[in-house]
Chains A and B, each alone.
Chain A
């Protein structure tokens, strides 16, 4: 049987059940606000958001693969493109652009012009160290880990901090080959 053609982010987004964007944005705001109250330290909130994102990512990847019919990517470049064009589109309704490749192809930037998470957000002076969207970096890290890529994801630019766009730096640390607990006879 011929493999099913991969679907575009738009096609999947159109078919998926959605909720009101405001409900989503406000719910996320409420979570961040609650974390700030509970944990008090901005640094701790960043960490917690990242961890929550990671937990989402390790489950989300399967939905992504199941609904987009994406097959194995040949290299990290293709992976980054797929995240930016299909992944973001499918789950957030926006697409990102991939830029600033390092020469060895292991590190790139995902630039988001539009970010539905921050629609009503203004960072107060007391939370200047907060990476409000840190959940996104966790999602990407978790999702890629499930398809055997260890990555490090950090924010470079953040519009809430006065930059002109959102920029996520994704660095491929190592590709863990699928391994079995036995070794070939040595």
Chain B
């Protein structure tokens, strides 16, 4: 089973810096993924402005017929979001874990340039382990 379809990380100016898809559903090419990332960035910004509550931090969950989109924005403006099967639980926790992995294996890499696309093997490795673990946990639940 593939609970998670894909994972995106976008920098604070809306550029896609990381994209990975899992399984076959919802796979898209580079152009589409870039487009989707900047589209989400704008929608997120608009949702903040449209929200009737003060100090709204933007959309956290988008529920559609065929997928759920969970988004987490760090206080520094980087957004992490996963597209997953409708009704998948505990995605907030997974996004927190991915954020921690990002701080550990991307930001601490002295050769990573801020706001640029992420090409760090250690990050990829630890990320797939985290996702794997999440899947195993899902099966167990």
Chain A contacts to B: CB under 8 angstroms: 1, 4, 58-63, 65-67, 71-72, 146-147, 178, 180
* Complex: A72 Cα to B77 Cα, angstroms: 12
Q: How many A-B residue pairs have CB under 8 A?
A: 39
Q: Determine, out of B30-38, B102-110, B117-125, the stretch whose residues face the partner at the interface.
A: B102-110
A147: chain B residues within 8 A (beta carbon): 75-76
Q: Please state if B74 and A59 are interface contacts (CB–CB under 8 Å).
A: no
Interface SS of B by simple majority: helix
* Complex: A180 Cα to B47 Cα, angstroms: 13
Closest 10 CB pairs of A and B: A63-B103, A59-B107, A66-B100, A62-B103, A146-B76, A66-B103, A66-B99, A147-B75, A65-B75, A62-B76
* Complex: A63 Cα to B102 Cα, angstroms: 8
Interface SS of A by simple majority: helix
Q: Please state if A63 and B75 are interface contacts (CB–CB under 8 Å).
A: no
Contact of A63 (CB < 8 Å), options: B45, B96, B104: B104
Chain B contacts to A: CB under 8 angstroms: 45, 74-78, 92, 96, 99-100, 102-104, 107-108, 114
**B68 → chain A, closest Cβ, in Å?**
14
Query: Which of B74, B77, B103 gathers most chain A CB within 10 Å?
Result: B103
**From A146, which residue of chain B is reached at the shortest CB distance?**
B76
A71: chain B residues within 8 A (beta carbon): 75
* Complex: A178 Cα to B96 Cα, angstroms: 22
* Complex: A118 Cα to B80 Cα, angstroms: 39
Contact of B75 (CB < 8 Å), options: A1, A4, A58, A72: A72
**B79 → chain A, closest Cβ, in Å?**
12
Q: Please state if B114 and A58 are interface contacts (CB–CB under 8 Å).
A: yes
**A147 → chain B, closest Cβ, in Å?**
5
**From A63, which residue of chain B is reached at the shortest CB distance?**
B103
Contact of B102 (CB < 8 Å), options: A1, A61, A62: A62
B103: chain A residues within 8 A (beta carbon): 59, 62-63, 66-67
